[in-house]
């Protein structure tokens, strides 16, 4: 009887442990007042916080999920929809849609969560925002990680656009035109918008079928959101933010996919100007390293954070 009881107990414990291991991370969602607007914020995981800033402008955080969740094993991840994007408020005027405001939102989130110094991760456009924030608030940053950062100058931005244009197949270009001309797309149908964005990013992914694993979110306010995003244009018409990098003194880990239409020279220039930086070129990887090379990406990041914390 004792043997049967012990076997039963071990089996029950095993099932309980397995069930616990398979339980998905629980998200906490909220809408918070930040810098004169309402931002949708989502947190998951436990441990030292990481603020993740997605690409765009005009996209929500959704395409990062579930791909970034391995980081939640050791960190509390903070994700949010930037102003006039995703589930955040669109009650904004043109004065509230300048680059300055997007950077100040990061500082507002730091204060909201009571974080003394931020560990920030930025993807694409989010990488540009992270760079500007770290230059403006160097004493409020502990570390920076950049995933295929948007070009920090108009010159490299133009190179990126040419690379994207040349990498697009005639078939995919025709597909984009077809979607854009459809009544569903013009009316802001979320499914058609998702199809369009996946088509746009398809040539930026090394194994192109993986683009269908990116889950973009759009709502009925998409057209109004895009109208508001347009007010960023003056700040991004002719810019060069490289001189600001000299203000960043914290460790910076830069990732760049070898297949990304973003010019690798942008990452190399950043590495050269950031004295405490490391550049990692991910082979056979495009613009979405968390989707295409997650094991290599997250392992390198954990080494980076372990080394950073060991110095304390």
pLDDT digits (tens, 9 = 90+) for 100-146: 999 999 999 999 999 999 999 999 999 999 999 999 999 999 999 99
Query: Where in the chain are the domains?
Result: 26-165+219-310
Quote the CA–CA distance of 55 and 85 in Å, as a whole number.
11
The domain covering 26-165+219-310 belongs, at the CATH homologous superfamily level, to Alpha/Beta hydrolase fold, catalytic domain (3.40.50.1820)
Angle (CA) 140 141 143, round 5°: 170
Quote the CA–CA distance of 293 and 283 in Å, as a whole number.
9
Q: What is the pTM of this model?
A: 0.90
Please give the pLDDT value at position 199. Answer: 93
**Residue whose structure tokens are 């295929």:** 148
Please give the pLDDT value at position 312. Answer: 62
What tokens does 30 get?
């909220």
What tokens does 189 get?
């149908």
Please give the pLDDT value at position 14. Answer: 40
Q: Quote the distance between the C-alpha of residue 156 and its chain's center.
A: 20
The whole-chain average pLDDT of the chain stands at 91
Please give the pLDDT value at position 7. Answer: 34
Quote the CA–CA distance of 43 and 68 in Å, as a whole number.
12
What tokens does 267 get?
């990452």
Beta-sheet pairing, 37-44 with 50-53:
unpaired
Q: What is the share, in percent, of the chain residues with pLDDT greater than 70?
A: 92
Q: What does the pLDDT average to over 186-196?
A: 92
Beta strands, E only, 84-163: 118-123, 141-147
Strand order in the sheet with 277-282: 27-34, 37-44, 77-80, 50-53, 118-123, 141-147, 252-257, 277-282
């Amino acid at each position: 009887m004792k043997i049967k009881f012990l076997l039963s107990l071990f089996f029950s414990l095993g099932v309980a442990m397995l069930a616990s291991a398979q339980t998905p991370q629980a998200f906490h969602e909220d809408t918070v007042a930040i810098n004169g607007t309402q931002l949708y914020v989502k947190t998951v995981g436990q441990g030292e916080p990481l603020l993740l800033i997605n690409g765009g402008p005009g996209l929500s955080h959704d395409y990062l999920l579930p791909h970034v969740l391995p980081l939640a094993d050791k960190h509390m991840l903070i994700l949010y929809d930037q102003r006039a994007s995703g589930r955040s408020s669109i009650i904004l005027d043109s004065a509230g849609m300048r680059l300055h405001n997007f950077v100040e939102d990061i500082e507002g989130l730091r204060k909201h969560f009571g974080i003394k110094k931020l560990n920030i991760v930025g993807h694409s456009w989010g990488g540009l925002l992270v760079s500007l924030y770290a230059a403006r608030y160097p004493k409020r940053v502990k570390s920076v990680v950049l995933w295929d950062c948007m070009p920090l100058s108009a010159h490299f931005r133009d190179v990126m656009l040419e690379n994207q244009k040349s990498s697009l197949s005639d078939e995919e270009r025709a597909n984009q035109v077809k979607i854009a001309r459809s009544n569903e797309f013009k009316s802001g149908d979320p499914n058609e918008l998702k199809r369009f964005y996946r088509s746009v990013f398809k040539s930026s992914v090394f194994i192109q079928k993986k683009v269908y694993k990116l889950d973009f979110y759009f709502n009925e306010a998409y057209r109004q959101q895009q109208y508001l995003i347009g007010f960023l244009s003056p700040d991004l018409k002719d810019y060069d933010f490289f001189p600001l990098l000299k203000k960043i003194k914290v460790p910076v880990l830069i990732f760049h996919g070898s297949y990304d239409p973003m010019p690798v020279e942008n990452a190399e220039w950043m590495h050269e100007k950031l004295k405490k930086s490391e550049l990692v070129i991910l082979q056979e990887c495009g613009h979405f390293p968390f989707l295409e090379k997650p094991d290599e990406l997250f392992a390198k990041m954990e080494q980076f954070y372990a080394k950073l914390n060991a110095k304390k």
